[in-house]
């Protein structure tokens, strides 16, 4: 009896041992269902699932025997469970049995959390939902939003997931793939409530991100608005572009929008390049490096390279959906050194400013330090993430790990540095703009003062000149112009008329005008010879022109119509719709040996001499056409105001000055005296 009993005990032990081994190897099979108990109408399908790499449509069938498959948890990806660096297809299966005696929901629904990257879900062999697209029309999303699917009337059955993992990116560590969180099963109402909870948790965990990106967006809007108001404030423009890149990237990749990852990443490449380039130019302004022409040229070249590379890199991502993505990945890896060098360019700009000992306020140096910190963290993180699934270097992941949490929001080093950089940039731009406004206010005050001086020197009211009608119009292109004229009645009768044009505009031109007008008024007390006055003005202007020049035309008109003229490079006067041949000399201030000759003409009664500056002839239309000499000749006999208005309406680009001198009909007594005087003829004499 003992032997049969012993054999029986051994047999039972062996059977028990076999069952234990089978349970350890593959306990979950269609013959051994896992009961689901609903707590509040919901159950979490955690624990091990049957898992198998590869793809076969038969694996969706509820009667398929998956007992030889391995068991895998669904609370972490398969890359962390012995299948690192595995992309492509894999299947998850689980037999769900509704526990008897429990209050079961009438209808079933399932909440599927993020699954990397695309999947199909089958319930009892029937396809009930798809997320993304599977090859040959692969489509997946960077940040997948959980989905809910209805499974129909409550019943036991087999859940099967056909999962496809996209090819690994250069920054992946190879530990991705499949489930990260277990799915949940329950009534449609319970699933809807659970979905709301998932959404709330996600929003709560990203509120700092949304707050920061909203702040970036606000800075971008205000920066663009300020630049549109003050087009000379290019720092505000570059600051706005830099800030705008952040929320744009969030829209493309961070809001769980149904944008395929290759599209989102492809569009994000130029957006990110725009942010980089904008930061470069913002630093050029803040670090006061705009005066270095070679550095500006280098920045422009690198900006073109960076933006072009970003477009190429974005297009390369399309190749990741191809059956063989390896060539595209190789091209992408080849671009990475270029990207890394570009990302380090802000560090180069900061080093350049330090080496040249730029004198900057503390706010700008703070921005420089924060830019260095932000770029260093970003470049180091990206560099160490590249190829980490082969190198097994985890420093990139550590740099991206959270430093602390605030209300459930994880804050890592990069987010912290970018936040500090934004605050520093806004403060530095504010300081920069305030300084510019103060300088602009001082400049405007100086311009107003110069304008006031010029108004005193250039007469608003035309003096009475017996025997002549004098008209003048002065239309500066800016607040302070470079044109000047003087009408000086002579004690013995007649008038001395001066018109000129100083090269350049603004305060330097106004100061030169002040010098010239003062010189003319002083010289007129000692001589009325146009040539002598020009010669003296030329000597006064030597070494004061600062690379520019001054043109000037002087006429001395007598009551009898005799006119003496001398010219220093100025447009000749017009008489009887023709340009007079006045002997021309060099503009003032160019040569100490310049000579000026006088030309004598006669102005008959009712005839008009018209003097203009080159702002009339060089008026330019929107199409680029010049007003020109022919149009000027055609209207030369018209009043001064008509000539000036015609040039302005055509398109003013320079100061416009028109001066007309018309000899009036002589009184009878004056006519008798004039007839007895010898009439002047054309002649010239040197001063």
Give 530-575 as a DSSP string.
HHHHHHHHHHHHTTTSTT--EEEEEEEE-TTSEEEEEEESPPPPEE
Instruction: DSSP letter for 626, please.
Output: B
Q: Under 8 Å CB-to-CB from 559, ≥6 apart: which residues?
A: 466, 467, 468, 493, 494, 666, 670, 674
Per-residue pLDDT, 255: 84
Between CA 335 and CA 294 the distance in angstroms is 26
Instruction: Tell me the two tokens of residue 237.
Output: 């423009």
Per-residue pLDDT, 677: 41
Does residue 680 register a pLDDT over 60?
A: no
Give 243-306 as a DSSP string.
HHHHHHHHHHHTS--S--HHHHHHHHHHHHHHHHHHHHHHHHHHTT-TT-HHHHHHHHHHHHHH
Higher pLDDT, 422 or 504: 422
Between CA 469 and CA 487 the distance in angstroms is 11
CATH superfamily of 25-193: Galactose-binding domain-like (2.60.120.260)
Per-residue pLDDT, 458: 64
What architecture is domain 462-686?
A: 4-Layer Sandwich (3.60)
Q: Under DSSP, is residue 601 helix (H, G, I), strand (E, B) or coil?
A: strand
Per-residue pLDDT, 681: 36
Strand 562-568 versus strand 584-585 pairing type:
parallel
Per-residue pLDDT, 21: 26
Closest CA to 341 of 309, 367, 314: 309
Strand partners, 329: none
pLDDT tens column, 131-177: 988 988 888 887 677 899 999 998 889 999 999 998 887 778 889 99
Higher pLDDT, 279 or 326: 279
Instruction: Tell me the two tokens of residue 335.
Output: 């671009």
Per-residue pLDDT, 7: 33
Per-residue pLDDT, 32: 47
Q: Do domains 206-439 and 462-686 have the same CATH topology?
A: no
3-state helix, strand, coil in the chain (%, to 5): 45, 20, 30
HSE-CB for 276 with a 13 A CA cutoff: 29
Does residue 480 register a pLDDT over 70?
A: no
HSE-CB for 245 with a 13 A CA cutoff: 20
Cβ atoms of 287 and 358 within 8 Å: the answer is: yes
Against a cut of 0.95, is the pTM above it? no
> How high is the mean pLDDT of the chain?
82
Does residue 119 register a pLDDT over 90?
A: yes
pLDDT (mean) for 76-92: 94
Strand partners, 34: 96
Instruction: DSSP letter for 167, please.
Output: P
Per-residue pLDDT, 531: 94
Helix (H) / strand (E) element for 322: namely none
Highest mean pLDDT (candidates 66-75, 327-336, 614-623): 66-75
Closest CA to 580 of 591, 590, 566: 566
Does residue 44 register a pLDDT over 50?
A: yes
**Banded model confidence at residue 288, pLDDT cuts 50, 70, 90:** confident
Give 73-118 as a DSSP string.
ESSS-GGGTT-TT--EEEEEEEEEEEPTTS---SEEEEEE--EESE
Kindly state the percentage of the chain with pLDDT values over 70. 84
Cβ atoms of 158 and 102 within 8 Å: the answer is: no
Strand 402-406 versus strand 184-186 pairing type:
unpaired
Q: How many residues does the chain have?
A: 687
Between CA 685 and CA 687 the distance in angstroms is 7
pLDDT tens column, 165-219: 988 877 788 899 999 999 999 999 999 999 999 988 888 888 888 988 898 999 8
Q: 206-439 belongs to which CATH class? A: mainly alpha
> Around Cβ 43, how many Cβ atoms within 10 Å?
18
Does residue 478 register a pLDDT over 60?
A: yes
Per-residue pLDDT, 111: 95
pLDDT tens column, 352-363: 888 887 777 787
Q: Under DSSP, is residue 33 helix (H, G, I), strand (E, B) or coil?
A: coil
**Banded model confidence at residue 235, pLDDT cuts 50, 70, 90:** confident
pLDDT (mean) for 406-421: 84
Per-residue pLDDT, 83: 95
Does residue 552 register a pLDDT over 70?
A: yes
Lowest mean pLDDT among 61-75, 504-518, 576-590, 664-678: 664-678
Give residue limits of the domains in the chain.
Answer: 25-193, 206-439, 462-686
Lowest mean pLDDT among 116-120, 143-147, 452-456: 452-456
């Amino acid at each position: 009896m003992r032997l049969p009993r012993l054999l029986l005990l051994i047999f039972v032990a062996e059977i028990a041992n076999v069952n234990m081994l089978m349970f350890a190897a593959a306990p979950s099979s269609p013959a051994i269902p896992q009961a689901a108990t609903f707590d509040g109408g919901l159950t979490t399908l955690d624990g091990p699932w049957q898992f198998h790499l590869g793809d076969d449509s038969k694996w969706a069938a509820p009667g398929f025997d998956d007992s030889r498959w391995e068991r895998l948890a669904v609370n972490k990806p398969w890359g962390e469970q012995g299948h690192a660096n595995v992309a492509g297809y894999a299947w998850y299966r689980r037999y769900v049995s509704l526990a008897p005696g429990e209050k079961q929901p009438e209808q079933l629904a399932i909440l599927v959390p993020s699954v990397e990257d695309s999947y199909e879900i089958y319930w009892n062999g029937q396809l009930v939902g798809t997320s993304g697209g599977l090859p040959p029309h692969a489509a997946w999303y960077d940040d997948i939003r959980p989905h809910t699917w209805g499974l129909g009337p409550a019943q036991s059955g087999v859940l099967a997931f056909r999962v496809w993992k996209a090819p690994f990116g250069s920054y992946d560590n190879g530990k991705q793939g499949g489930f990260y969180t277990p799915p949940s099963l329950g009534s449609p109402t319970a699933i809807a409530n659970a979905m709301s909870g998932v959404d709330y948790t996600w929003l709560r965990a990203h509120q700092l991100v949304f707050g920061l990106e909203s702040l970036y967006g606000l800075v971008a809007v205000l920066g663009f608005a300020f630049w549109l108001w003050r087009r000379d404030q290019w720092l505000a423009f570059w600051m706005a572009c830099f800030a705008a890149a952040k929320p744009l990237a969030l829209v493309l990749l961070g809001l769980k929008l149904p944008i395929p990852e290759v599209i989102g990443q492809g569009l994000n490449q130029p957006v990110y390049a725009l942010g980089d380039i904008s930061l470069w130019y913002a630093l050029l302004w803040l670090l006061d490096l705009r005066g270095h022409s070679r550095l500006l040229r280098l920045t422009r070249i690198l900006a073109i390279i960076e933006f072009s590379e970003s477009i190429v890199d974005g297009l390369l991502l399309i190749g990741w959906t191809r059956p063989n993505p390896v060539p595209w990945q190789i091209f992408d890896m080849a671009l990475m050194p270029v990207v890394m060098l570009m990302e380090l360019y802000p560090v180069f700009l900061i080093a350049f400013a330090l080496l040249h000992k730029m004198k900057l306020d503390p706010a700008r140096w703070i921005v420089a330090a924060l830019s260095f910190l932000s770029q260093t963290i970003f470049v180091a993180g990206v560099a160490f993430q590249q190829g980490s699934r082969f190198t097994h270097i985890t420093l990139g992941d550590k740099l991206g790990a959270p430093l602390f949490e605030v209300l459930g929001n994880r804050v890592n080093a990069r987010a912290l540095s970018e936040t500090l950089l934004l605050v520093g940039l806004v403060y530095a731009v504010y300081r920069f703009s305030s300084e510019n406004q103060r300088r602009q206010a001082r400049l405007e005050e100086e311009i107003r003062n110069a304008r006031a001086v010029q108004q005193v020197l250039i007469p608003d009211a035309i003096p009475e000149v017996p025997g002549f009608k004098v008209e003048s119009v002065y239309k500066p292109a800016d607040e302070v112009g470079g044109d000047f004229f003087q009408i000086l009645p002579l004690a013995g009768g007649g008038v001395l008329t001066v018109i000129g044009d100083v090269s350049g505009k603004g305060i330097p031109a106004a100061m030169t005008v002040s010098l010239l007008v003062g010189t003319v008024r002083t010289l007129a007390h000692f001589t009325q010879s146009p040539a002598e006055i020009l010669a003296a003005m030329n000597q006064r202007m030597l070494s004061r022109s600062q690379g520019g020049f001054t043109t000037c035309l002087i006429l001395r008109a007598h009551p009898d119509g005799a006119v003496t003229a001398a010219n220093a490079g100025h447009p000749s006067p017009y008489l009887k719709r023709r340009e007079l041949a006045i002997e021309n000399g060099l503009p003032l201030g160019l040569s100490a040996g310049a000579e000026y000759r006088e030309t004598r003409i006669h102005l008959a009664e009712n005839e008009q001499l018209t003097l203009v500056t080159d702002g009339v002839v060089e008026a330019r239309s929107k199409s680029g056409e010049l007003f020109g000499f022919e149009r000027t000749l055609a209207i030369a006999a018209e009043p001064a105001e008509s000539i000036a208005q015609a040039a302005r309406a055509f398109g003013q680009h320079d100061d416009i000055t028109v001066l007309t001198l018309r000899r009036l009909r002589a009184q009878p007594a004056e006519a008798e005296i004039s007839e007895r005087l010898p009439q002047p003829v054309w002649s010239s004499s040197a001063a």
